[in-house]
Amino acid sequence: MKKFLRKILINTFSIWVVAAVFPGLTYQSNIKTLIIAALVFTVINTWVKPVIKLLLLPVNLITMGTLSWLNSVLCLLLLTIIIPQIEIQSFKFLGLSASGFIVPAFTFTVLYSLICASLLLWLITSFISSVFGR
């Protein structure tokens, strides 16, 4: 039970950070939605993600694991389907220029936003788990 509550807290913080930093992930501005989303996301990662991994096993074997990130994307998509207050949306990146390094402006579609949001969630969750978890 303690481990499950720790995962819920980590997912709550991760979703909050990604929503604050990444404009493609938004949620209704109340803590109740955030905690419910983290609870559902923890349940999805605990019980549904192994089933998704098993279903995508042939794809992962054929591609030698290069599409294993698809598991996280599908879990996040499932979260947005179950909790309609969490939204993945397209947005326009205005570009970046610093010290001769130029990133041009482009539009993130919903698919790219979903991929980037799941990558950020995975990075933050992994970092927090490695620092505070066992």
pLDDT digits (tens, 9 = 90+) for 80-109: 999 999 999 999 988 888 888 898 998 999
Q: Is the pLDDT of residue 7 over 80?
A: yes
* pLDDT given for residue 1 in this prediction: 83
pLDDT tens-digit map of 12-51? 999 999 999 999 999 987 899 999 999 999 999 999 999 9
Kindly tell me if the per-residue pLDDT of 120 is higher than 90.
Answer: yes
- Give the pair of three-digit tokens for residue 105: 């402006």
> Which residue in 39, 19, 17 sits closest to 28, CA to CA?
19
In the chain, beta strands by DSSP E: 25-26, 87-88, 91-93, 96-98, 101-103, 106-108
* pLDDT(74) > 70: yes
**Nearest-angstrom CA–CA distance, 27 and 87:** 6
pLDDT band at residue 134 under the 50/70/90 scheme: low
Range of the domain at 84: 2-132
Per DSSP, the three-state class of 27 is coil
| pTM (predicted TM-score) | 0.88
Total count of domains within the chain? 1
Q: Using the CB atoms, write b or e for 22-39: b if 16+ within 10 Å.
A: bebbebeeeeebbebbbb
**Quick check: 133 pLDDT over 80?**
no
Angle between helix 2-21 and 31-43 (nearest 10): 120
The pLDDT value recorded for residue 42 is 95
